[in-house]
Amino acid sequence: MKIMLDHLLDSRGISQNQLAKDTGISVSTLRNLNHNRTSRISFDVLEKLCIFLDCGVEDVLLVERES
């Protein structure tokens, strides 16, 4: 599974710092998500991201299928 947060932020012109400020999610959590350095994401964080970015879970998380 891949977290597509970096693409969402880039396409909307939003920085990690701005996202952290507006959502209350820590910068370190966002940095780890942005660089796919995490093995889980809480529903609370996922909900905050989807609400703030006006997107669905499928826009944040991508299932990578083996070929």
pLDDT, tens digit, 9 for 90 and up, residues 31-56: 999 888 988 999 999 999 999 999 99
Classify residue 15: in a domain, yes or no. yes
Classify residue 67: in a domain, yes or no. no
The domain containing residue 56 runs over which residues? 2-62
The count of structural domains within the chain is 1
- For residue 1, the model assigns a pLDDT of 87
CA distance 41 to 15: 19
CA distance 5 to 33: 7
Classify residue 30: in a domain, yes or no. yes
- For residue 67, the model assigns a pLDDT of 67
Q: What CATH number did the domain enclosing 35 receive? A: 1.10.260.40
CA distance 18 to 38: 21
